[in-house]
Structure formats: C-alpha cells, structure tokens
Amino acid sequence: MKQLPVLFSAALVSLVALYPVQSLAVKASDYGLPDFTKLVEETNLSVVNISTIKKVTSRKDLPQFRGMPEELLRHFFGLPQLPGEPRSTPREEPREEAHSLGSGFVISEDGYILTNHHVIDGADEIIVRMRDRSELIAEVVGTDARTDVALLKIDADDLPYAKIGRSDNLKVGQWVLAIGEPFGLDFTATHGIISALGRSLPDDTYVPFIQSDVPINPGNSGGPLLNLAGEVIGINSQIYSKTGGYMGLSFSIPIDIAMNVVAQLKDNGKVVRGYLGVQIQEVTSDLAKSFGLSKPQGALVGETYPNTAAKKAGIEAGDIILEFDGKKIKKSSDLPPIVGVTPINKKVKVKVLRNGKEKIFRVRLNALDQAEQIAESAPENSGLKNNRLGAKVKNLDKDDLETLGLPFGVIITEVQSGGAAQKAGLRKGDIVVTIDFKPIKNAKELVKVVKRLPEGRSLPVRVVRNKRSLFLPLVLD
C-alpha cells in the first residue's frame, strides 16, 4: 500500500509527458457553466467609481454639551471667550468634508452616467473616476428618489458605454454578473443567478425589484447588473442584511424602469407618474374564496379617493383589478409600477371583478404629484351588541360620517375573544361599512344583515381602519 503513491506519481508523469498540460485543463463552459472572463473584459470599461463630497459643520464644544448655545455654556459653565471674538457674535463653525463611495456606469459616449439616487443624495461635489483612473466632476441632470435612480453628466466624448438590455423578459435562474466598487475595491466582478422577479420592498412602491444572489456590498450601489450578452438589465440598489454586509439577498432596479426615468429626466428634469387614486390590498386565499375567485389574484380596491381617475371612471371599493392597460395583475404589488409608468392623460382599459362578474372601465390617469389622497380617522359614538358577530358596535351620527367621508357605517367598540369578528381580524375602532357588499347603515341594519348571512362561508367585510379602507374575510359559525 505504501508503494501506491509512487506508482500513481509515475503514471501521472507519463500521462503529462504524453499530453500537453493545456489539454488537461477543463473549461467551465465544458460543463455548461458560463465563462465570465470575456464578458468582464468587454463591459468593465463602462463602469465608473463615484465618490461624493458633502460639506458638514462640526462644533468643537465638549461632547456632553454639544447642541447647547455657546452663550449659555459660557454664562453657566465659565467657558472662555475666544480671543478677538465679539461677545454678541457666535463663533463660526469649521467646515469638514464627508466622503461616500458608490458605483455607476456610462450609458452614452457623450458622458451620461446612471447611478442610484442615494449614492449622490445631498452631495456638494460628485467625482467620477474612470477605468483609466482619470477623474472628472459630474453634474446632476436629475434624480428620482421613488425609484432610487440618478442621471449624471460629465464633460467627455467618445467614451465606452454600456449596452442597455431589457428587463421584461428575464427568467428566474439565469446567470447575471455585477461590476462595482464594494468597500472601495476598484472594478470588482461578482456573479450569481436571478433568484426572483417583481419583488416589492417596503417604501419602494414603484419598483418591482430583481432579486439575485450576486454578492453585493456597500459601494456596489449604482453599478450594473448584466446578462451573459453583456447587456445591463438592472441597477444594483439594495441588500437585505443584519450585519451591513452581503447575506445572499441582493436587489436591483429593472433597467426598463430606469430608462423610463432617464428619458423623463432628460426631457423635463423630473419624473411625472400616473396616479389611479385607489388604496389596494393583497387578495389572500380566504378573501379569494369570499369573492368567488378560484385562486388569489389581482389587487383588491379598499377605497377610491375623491376627484381621482378611479373615482371618475366608476371603480369602487370591493372591485378586484385583474388587468391594467392589457397587463395582468397577479398580486397587488404589480399594480403601482404599471400605473406609475403609464403616460398621464392616456386612456387605458382596466378589467375588474365586481360581484363575481368581470367589467371593463376606461381610465384617464392623473399626475401623482397633483393627486390628493383623502382618508380620515374614525371617532367613537354609541351602541348595540350582536352575539353572532361577536362584537359590540355603535352608530355614527351624520357629522361623524361627514368627517370620515363615508355615506354610512358603524364603529366596533368591543370584540369578543374567540368570536367570528376576532377570527376575521376585526378590531376595536374599526368602522364596518359593508358585509358581503350589503351596506351597514346603522347598528340595527347590521343585526338584520348578519342574521341572514350563511354559515361556514367566507364573506368579505369592508372596514375603515387607521385612515385606510380594507377587506377582511368573515366566516360565521
């Protein structure tokens, strides 16, 4: 057994002698894996480093007294007057510079550059460093905080620029490449696959993010996400992290969304979005059953706001939007990005499900910046108990309803533990407007409606809660 390593080594030497070393090398492509070397060579010249300088003020007071007026500090704690400084004139605070790093990429040979809004937000000076390490000062053409996209311009010609691809034909599982400046490390390439599409993140209503497992870290923000054809299909924007570093979840802005923003910033210097004027919620499995749907789909309208496109078109609370401008709405988060990129004043078709039947409405959108979202809070009043519902309710007077902007409704003052109301998710303070699409005008009307409702079937209840209208699935035992 001890001789086996010697015999194996001799055989290996003989094999190497017979075949050149390069013939033994195995390429990743031989196993169906992508070779990123050529892709990086062809695309890295368009990627830039972006550093910003922000002037900040700094006080030289003792830390425990920072933020207190200097005159008070001198009076109570005996701080000395600075030489030559008038007693009535506050001391000038020195200026310091705060630096931040990010990435970007050139999209035209005449010097237009795409990056994230948060990379350059609040900057007094933006410095772009090219692949050849030359540095240029950039001007902001425009930014859009809602999509986290910023368009910059540098004074240069004949620049290598990125090929812009499409993000509407992406598939989960396809290979992608990112190039950027993580932690300031120049032109770092990382790769992975697309993990999911159309991700909706908190406070990012208008961006259906591309989720990938490409390692992205601070400094990658604003850099390109590329497909195997070398085309930009996204802008790297966010990560999910409990540590501040990469944890396997990266999110990129689809390039179709970004280029729509670019076109508007070039033409108008700002972005104008469509506004439908509805408050929506997800259609859960229970709600789908209560609305007669075979599966959860669409965006459920909880409320339509006054003087908006939805209200004028006739869309009502309880409608489920299934299609908007020919695009299917599979979940509620699909709707805002589609509405946002729809041109203002364009008449579009909206397919909704109402009382189990599909209807078509024609809507002409308002501009988001001009829209008014109206929702009022609910006060309490006086009442009645309904044991089958498992809740105490009180009537609302005319003034209360006018304040709320509601034609009718009753307010819940107590929810019975283990009752149907609690199981449905109803809470104290909720204003019940309809049950199974039947109007609840007062407490007596509620008793009549609830008494006639069938048992064991999921029924939609519309309530107003914390300035928002929503539907809950109610099942009566």
Catalytic annotation present for 148:
yes
Query: Which residue, chain included where needed, has tokens 């104290």?
Result: 428
The encoded tokens of residue 269 equal 């210097």
Question: Residue 93, Cβ neighbours under 10 Å: how many?
Answer: 13
DSSP letter for each residue of 304-357: E-TTSHHHHHT--TT-EEEEETTEE-SSGGGHHHHHHHSPTT-EEEEEEEETTE
Residues 6+ apart with CB under 8 A from 470: 279, 281, 302, 462, 463
Phi, psi of 371 (to 5 degrees): -80, 150
| Radius of gyration from C-alpha coordinates of the chain | 31
Which one from 144, 148, 256, 319 is the annotated catalytic residue?
148
Query: Which residue, chain included where needed, has tokens 């692949």?
Result: 131
Which one from 61, 108, 110, 118 is the annotated catalytic residue?
118
**The amino acid at 124:** D
Query: Which residue, chain included where needed, has tokens 């990012």?
Result: 204
Question: Residue 359, Cβ neighbours under 10 Å: how many?
Answer: 14
Catalytic annotation present for 118:
yes
Side-chain-facing half-sphere of 395: CA atoms under 13 Å = 10
Which one from 51, 221, 252, 458 is the annotated catalytic residue?
221
**The amino acid at 89:** T
- Whether the CB-CB separation of 299 and 320 falls below 8 Å is answered with yes
**The amino acid at 282:** E
The encoded tokens of residue 144 equal 């859009």
Catalytic annotation present for 221:
yes
**Alpha-carbon distance values, 164 to 230, 231, 456 (Å):** 9, 5, 54
**Alpha-carbon distance values, 57 to 60, 85, 90 (Å):** 10, 19, 14
Catalytic residues: 118, 148, 221
